[in-house]
């Protein structure tokens, strides 16, 4: 059914259609609208049998999901930013125990400085947590990929993070095709847990494991993610067959087959990138884009194949690994080992800074002219940074960077204190 | 023939022997067919109070639920000594997730059971004092205030024993731990710190809160049984001795737990919906010194210089408990509920 609907509401509808049995919620922007909508559905009885637990922290949210999943219930939660970091310990535990929890991450920056707007710092920080990470480009894809996520998680007994851009997607109202309940019931089999706490068949889960088997347990986690590499396209294919539209999968190519320059990115920014690609294609430039839809497991072969013909690859990322630069680009470089393409990292959109077509045109023009270095900070205000660096050099007690620079740009308390 | 009612106690302990009571009144542990939550072969130290307390508590819960039980466990001694896999000692479905989340995992188990319409399987969360009163306190308090259908049992040995005896918020003042060393003018743990988790649990006005010690295991069994007959969030705080961390003889574990109660250092009580409803009276009031001198964690109070000032301060703390909980009020006949009545 087509509806004009907010991204969060659409995701809530999709999750509800998956018949979750336990939902844990702790508020953090920008994911709140999702769990608010689900709380209403549970309270009204529409989702019965389902328990909605208002927990005291994200750490508890993931812990309650762990207990519920280990008891054989389909468990769901949503978070973002600081909340994802606060549950980090439990994230590793959920994947280590092999519990198929599904979680929406409404991607948001991590402080300090505190910032509620979108980038990918949160989920990228958990790339080694053992969770499968799927990134969506639109609200339609957000809906579709949540359905796929439950099927995938339960098939391989691993938790899945569906990463959608905070505000840009979660708060955007657009036309979305919402699935019918019968369709979802046919697509998503009943959850048969691989392990379950059951007094009839007592199990010990979470035992101490020493050097004699720890490597093997970790290897199996990797093995299952490698299995997921095969399963993700399979599930996406089945989804397309049942629902008649393409969503999910490992990577998506956009006008990249004969491209000399290829932009690699994740999430909603692909829309803007594709617009610029179209404009430049119209001028005869051989440029294209590749969307990374699955970041963990890392689809190295598909990325290599998609980028093999390019002379230049620009990885546009909404996260920064301080001290080295790009995160996705390191993975891309690994996938391209031995190929001639030059890989450039462009850090963009941090803390919600808009990634405009103008900025992208400028970036691609620099690349075309051979002026693009290994690491670029798109739209960096050099004047602002230079002034602060100057202050640091001249005054040992120059104070906090964030507040100094905000004063310079006049956002707060313009002028000297 | 006329019958005379007599009262029997074992000398010193006040515990009634199982052979003196009717079969249906006997302890869970006296039953050769008893359920055994934790089997032998675990790796606890000799004289470990936590192993004893956990076995009695879980076995009592198993009996109360007819074996229909799921347990969650915080990281700590109990988790480590019971599950060097494949040698799990647990005969109940059991999950260990993290140090600080045993109460939240238990909430998740309870929520899953509820969603599945399972009203018969019950849930017990467990942890040591570190996993409960420190790192797990937010999850515990959340479980309490939501009224989740979980009995949480804290086995309190008053420090982080698993990591090598570091101070927790349950460490008593003046006690030596590896992070409250016996040096300086005020040796051992600082005064004016620490928290009383059982009273804080009571302040949540949950249906049932109790304290217990491993010196009175039938009392512990009874309290677990009582707790399992109630729905909602429940809490039992069990004082368990630690020969290693307390610097005490393994053979003194029960004796020390009894002295903690008899000195007033550890008040034993039950509460319901925010109020203390019963206390275990002290029968032989004992000076705290008798308790302290058996433990090397307090030896700096006796040598090289005897610290009468600190001992008096600990005594005053115990006296305050006695006054606060009414631990010494005259016993009437009805309150001798632990006594065994036998017709002769």
Q: Where are the domains of chain B?
A: 34-343
Question: pLDDT band at residue B340, thresholds of 50, 70 and 90?
Answer: very low
CB A167 within 8 A of CB A6: no
**Residues A71-113: tens digit of each pLDDT:** 999 999 999 999 999 999 999 999 999 999 999 999 999 999 9
Residue B268 has pLDDT above 70, yes or no: yes
CA distances from B316 to A208, B125, B322 (A): 43, 34, 10
With a CB cutoff of 8 Å and minimum separation 6, the contacts of B290 are B259, B263
A73 CB neighbours in chain B (<8 A) are 111-112, 115-116
Half-sphere exposure of A394 (CA within 13 A, CB side): 6
Residue A55 has pLDDT above 70, yes or no: yes
**Residues B162-171: tens digit of each pLDDT:** 999 999 999 9
Answer yes or no: do A37 and A179 share one domain. yes
* Span B195-219, average pLDDT: 97
Residue B233 has pLDDT above 50, yes or no: yes
SS3 B340: strand
**Residues A178-196: tens digit of each pLDDT:** 999 999 999 999 999 999 9
Q: Within 10 A of A284 (CB to CB), how many other CB atoms are there?
A: 7
Which residue of B85, B91, B115 is in closest CB contact with A73?
Answer: B115
Strand partners, A6: A173
CA distances from B54 to A356, A395, B123, B152, B236 (A): 62, 60, 15, 12, 11
- Residue A279 phi/psi, 5° resolution? -60, -45
Distance CA B173, CA A295 (A): 52
- List the domain range (segments joined by +) for residue A315: 251-377
Q: Which of A203, A223, A243 is the last residue of a domain?
A: A243
- Residue B67 phi/psi, 5° resolution? 80, 5
Residue A39 lies in a domain: yes
Q: What is the pLDDT of residue B342?
A: 44
DSSP of A94-121, one letter per residue?
A: HHHHT---EEEEEE---PSSP--S--SH
- Residue A164 phi/psi, 5° resolution? -130, 140
Q: What is the pLDDT of residue A124?
A: 98
Q: What is the pLDDT of residue B15?
A: 59
Q: What is the pLDDT of residue B27?
A: 76
Q: Within 10 A of A189 (CB to CB), how many other CB atoms are there?
A: 11
CA distances from A72 to A159, A303, B79, B123, B176 (A): 14, 36, 22, 15, 45
Copy the structure tokens of residue A357: 């077509």
Distance CA B301, CA B310 (A): 7
Residue B11 has pLDDT above 80, yes or no: no
With a CB cutoff of 8 Å and minimum separation 6, the contacts of A173 are A4, A5, A6, A7
Q: What is the pLDDT of residue A18?
A: 98
With a CB cutoff of 8 Å and minimum separation 6, the contacts of B276 are B202, B269, B270, B325
Residue B253 has pLDDT above 80, yes or no: yes
SS3 B323: helix
Closest alpha carbon to A165 in A130, A134, A131, A127: A134
CB A66 within 8 A of CB A93: yes
Q: Searching chain B, which residue's CA lies closest to the CA of residue A63?
A: B105
Q: What is the pLDDT of residue B84?
A: 81
Residue A210 lies in a domain: yes
Residue A345 has pLDDT above 50, yes or no: yes
Q: Within 10 A of B305 (CB to CB), how many other CB atoms are there?
A: 8
Answer yes or no: do A40 and A150 share one domain. yes
CATH classification at residue A267 = 3.40.50.920
Answer yes or no: do A231 and A309 share one domain. no
Q: Within 10 A of A92 (CB to CB), how many other CB atoms are there?
A: 17
B97 CB neighbours in chain A (<8 A) are 63, 66-67, 90, 93, 97, 206
Size of interface A-B (CB pairs under 8 A): 158
| Cβ separation A205–B84 shorter than 8 A | no
Q: Which pairing describes strands B5-8 and B340-343: parallel, antiparallel, or unpaired?
A: antiparallel
Please report how the helices B49-65 and B253-262 are oriented relative to each other, as an axis angle in degrees rounded to 10: 80
Q: What is the pLDDT of residue A376?
A: 98
Answer yes or no: do A328 and A414 share one domain. no
CB A58 within 8 A of CB B121: no
Measure in Å the smallest separation between the Cα of B100 and chain A Cα atoms: 9
Answer yes or no: do A226 and A347 share one domain. no
CATH classification at residue A140 = 3.40.50.970
Half-sphere exposure of A242 (CA within 13 A, CB side): 20
Residue B183 has pLDDT above 70, yes or no: yes
List strand residue ranges (DSSP E) for A178-302, in order: 204-205, 251-254, 261-265, 287-292, 294-296
Question: pLDDT band at residue B104, thresholds of 50, 70 and 90?
Answer: very high
Inform me whether the C-beta atom of residue B135 falls under 8 Å from chain A C-beta atoms: no
Residue with tokens 């955007």: A172
Note the ipTM here.
0.95
Please report how the helices A382-394 and A401-409 are oriented relative to each other, as an axis angle in degrees rounded to 10: 130
SS3 A137: coil
Residue A415 has pLDDT above 80, yes or no: no
Q: Searching chain A, which residue's CA lies closest to the CA of residue B110?
A: A68
Residue A383 lies in a domain: no
CB A337 within 8 A of CB A287: no
Answer yes or no: do A68 and A191 share one domain. yes
Which residue of A22, A63, A197 is in closest CB contact with B139?
Answer: A63
A192 CB neighbours in chain B (<8 A) are none
| Cβ separation A67–B139 shorter than 8 A | no
Answer yes or no: do A123 and A162 share one domain. yes
SS3 B343: strand
Average pLDDT of chain A, as a whole number: 96
Answer yes or no: do A400 and A297 share one domain. no
Closest alpha carbon to A270 in A281, A261, A282, A278: A278
CB A41 within 8 A of CB A33: no
Peptide bond into B305 cis (omega under 30): no
Residue with tokens 């680009």: A329
Q: What is the pLDDT of residue A85?
A: 98
Half-sphere exposure of A327 (CA within 13 A, CB side): 22
Distance CA B179, CA B157 (A): 16
Answer yes or no: do A61 and A22 share one domain. yes
Residue A298 has pLDDT above 60, yes or no: yes
Residue B275 has pLDDT above 60, yes or no: yes
| Cβ separation A203–B69 shorter than 8 A | no
Q: Which of A243, A261, A292 is the last residue of a domain?
A: A243
**What total of structural domains would you count in chain A?**
3
Q: Find residues 157-176 of chain B whose CB sits inside 8 Å of chain A.
A: none
- Residue B193 phi/psi, 5° resolution? -120, 175
Answer yes or no: do A296 and A180 share one domain. no
Identify the contact set of chain A against chain B, taking CB-CB distances under 8 A: 21-22, 24, 49-51, 53-57, 59-60, 63-73, 75, 89-90, 93, 97, 197-199, 201-210, 213
Strand partners, B155: B128, B238
Residue A382 lies in a domain: no
Inform me whether the C-beta atom of residue B80 falls under 8 Å from chain A C-beta atoms: yes
Measure in Å the smallest separation between the Cα of B259 and chain A Cα atoms: 34
Distance CA B292, CA B238 (A): 19
Q: What is the pLDDT of residue B10?
A: 55
Residue B339 has pLDDT above 50, yes or no: no
Answer yes or no: do A260 and A233 share one domain. no
Angle at A274 between CA A270 and CA A279, to 5 degrees: 155
CB A40 within 8 A of CB B129: no
Strand partners, B71: B94, B124
pLDDT > 90 fraction of chain B, expressed in percent and rounded: 79
Answer yes or no: do A269 and A331 share one domain. yes
- Residue A157 phi/psi, 5° resolution? 55, 55
Peptide bond into B188 cis (omega under 30): no
pLDDT > 90 fraction of chain A, expressed in percent and rounded: 98
Inform me whether the C-beta atom of residue B147 falls under 8 Å from chain A C-beta atoms: no
Inform me whether the C-beta atom of residue B119 falls under 8 Å from chain A C-beta atoms: no
Better-scored residue on pLDDT, B91 or B132: B132
The CATH superfamily holding the domain B34-343 is Thiamin diphosphate (ThDP)-binding fold, Pyr/PP domains (3.40.50.970)
Average pLDDT of chain B, as a whole number: 91
Radius of gyration of chain B (CA): 20
Residue A384 lies in a domain: no
Residue B307 has pLDDT above 70, yes or no: yes
């Amino acid at each position: 059914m087509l509806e004009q609907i907010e991204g969060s509401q659409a995701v809530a509808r999709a999750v509800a259609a998956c018949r979750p049995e336990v939902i844990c919620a702790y508020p953090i922007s920008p994911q709140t609208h999702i769990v608010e909508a689900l709380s209403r559905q549970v309270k009204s009885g529409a989702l019965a049998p389902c328990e909605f637990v208002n927990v005291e922290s994200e750490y508890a949210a993931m812990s309650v999901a762990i207990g519920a999943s280990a008891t054989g219930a389909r468990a769901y939660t949503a978070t973002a930013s600081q909340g994802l970091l606060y549950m980090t310990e439990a994230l590793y535990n959920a994947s280590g125990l092999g519990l198929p929890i599904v979680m929406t991450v409404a991607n948001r920056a991590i402080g300090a400085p505190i910032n509620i707007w979108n980038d990918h710092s949160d989920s990228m920080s958990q790339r080694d947590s053992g969770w499968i990470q799927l990134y969506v480009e639109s609200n339609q894809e957000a809906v579709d990929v949540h359905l796929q996520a439950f099927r995938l998680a339960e098939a391989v007994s691993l938790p899945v993070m569906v990463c959608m851009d905070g505000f840009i997607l979660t708060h955007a109202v657009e036309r979305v095709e919402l699935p019918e309940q019968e369709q979802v019931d046919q697509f998503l089999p009943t959850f048969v847990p691989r392990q379950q706490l059951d007094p009839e068949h007592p199990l010990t889960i979470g035992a101490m494991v020493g050097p004699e088997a720890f490597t093997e347990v970790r290897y199996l986690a990797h093995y299952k993610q490698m299995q997921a590499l095969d399963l993700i396209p399979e599930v996406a294919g089945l989804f397309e067959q049942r629902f008649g539209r393409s969503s999910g999968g490992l990577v998506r190519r956009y006008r990249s087959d004969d491209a000399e320059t290829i932009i690699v990115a994740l999430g909603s920014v692909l829309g803007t990138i594709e617009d610029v690609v179209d404009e430049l294609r119209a001028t005869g430039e051989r440029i294209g884009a590749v969307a990374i839809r699955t970041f963990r497991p890392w689809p190295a072969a598909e990325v290599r194949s998609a980028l093999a013909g390019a002379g230049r690859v620009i990885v546009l990322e909404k996260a920064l690994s301080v001290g080295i630069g790009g995160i996705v680009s390191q993975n891309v470089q690994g996938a391209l080992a031995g190929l001639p393409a030059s890989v450039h990292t462009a850090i963009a959109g941090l803390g919600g800074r808009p990634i405009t077509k103008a900025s992208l045109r400028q970036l691609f023009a620099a690349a075309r002219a051979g002026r693009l270095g290994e690491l670029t900070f798109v739209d960096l205000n050099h004047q602002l940074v230079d002034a602060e660096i100057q202050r640091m050099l001249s005054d040992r007690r120059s104070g906090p960077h964030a507040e100094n620079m905000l004063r310079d740009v006049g956002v707060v308390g313009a002028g000297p204190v | 023939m006329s019958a005379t009612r007599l009262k029997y106690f074992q000398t010193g302990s006040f515990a009634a022997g199982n052979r003196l009571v009717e079969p249906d009144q006997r302890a869970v542990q006296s039953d050769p067919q008893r359920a055994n939550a934790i089997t032998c072969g675990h790796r606890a130290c000799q004289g470990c109070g936590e192993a004893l307390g956990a076995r009695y508590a879980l076995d009592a819960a198993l009996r109360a639920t007819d074996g229909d039980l799921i347990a969650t466990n915080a990281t700590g001694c109990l988790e480590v000594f019971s599950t060097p896999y494949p040698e799990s000692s647990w005969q109940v479905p059991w999950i260990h997730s993290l140090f600080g989340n045993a109460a939240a995992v238990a909430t998740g188990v309870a929520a899953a059971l509820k969603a599945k319409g399972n009203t018969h399987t019950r849930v017990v969360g467990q942890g040591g004092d570190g996993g409960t009163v420190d790192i797990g306190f937010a999850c515990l308090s959340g479980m309490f205030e939501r009224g989740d259908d979980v009995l949480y049992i804290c086995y309190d040995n008053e420090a982080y024993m698993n990591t090598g005896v570091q101070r927790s918020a349950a460490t008593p003042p003046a006690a030596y731990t590896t992070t409250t060393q016996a040096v300086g003018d005020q040796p051992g743990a600082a005064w004016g710190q620490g928290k009383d988790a059982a009273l804080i649990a009571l302040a949540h006005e949950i249906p049932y809160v109790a304290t217990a010690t491993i010196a009175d295991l039938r009392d512990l069994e009874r309290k677990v049984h009582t707790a399992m007959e109630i729905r909602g969030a429940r809490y039992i705080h069990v004082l368990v001795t630690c020969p290693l961390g307390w610097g005490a003889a393994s053979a003194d574990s029960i004796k020390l737990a009894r002295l903690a109660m008899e000195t007033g250092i550890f008040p034993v009580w039950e509460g319901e919906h925010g109020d203390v409803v019963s206390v275990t009276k002290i029968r032989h009031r004992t000076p705290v010194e008798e308790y302290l001198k058996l433990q090397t964690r307090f030896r700096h109070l006796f040598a090289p210089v005897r610290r009468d000032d600190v001992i008096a301060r600990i005594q005053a703390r115990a006296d305050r408990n006695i006054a606060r909980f009414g631990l010494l009020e005259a016993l009437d006949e009805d309150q001798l509920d632990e006594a065994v009545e036998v017709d002769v």
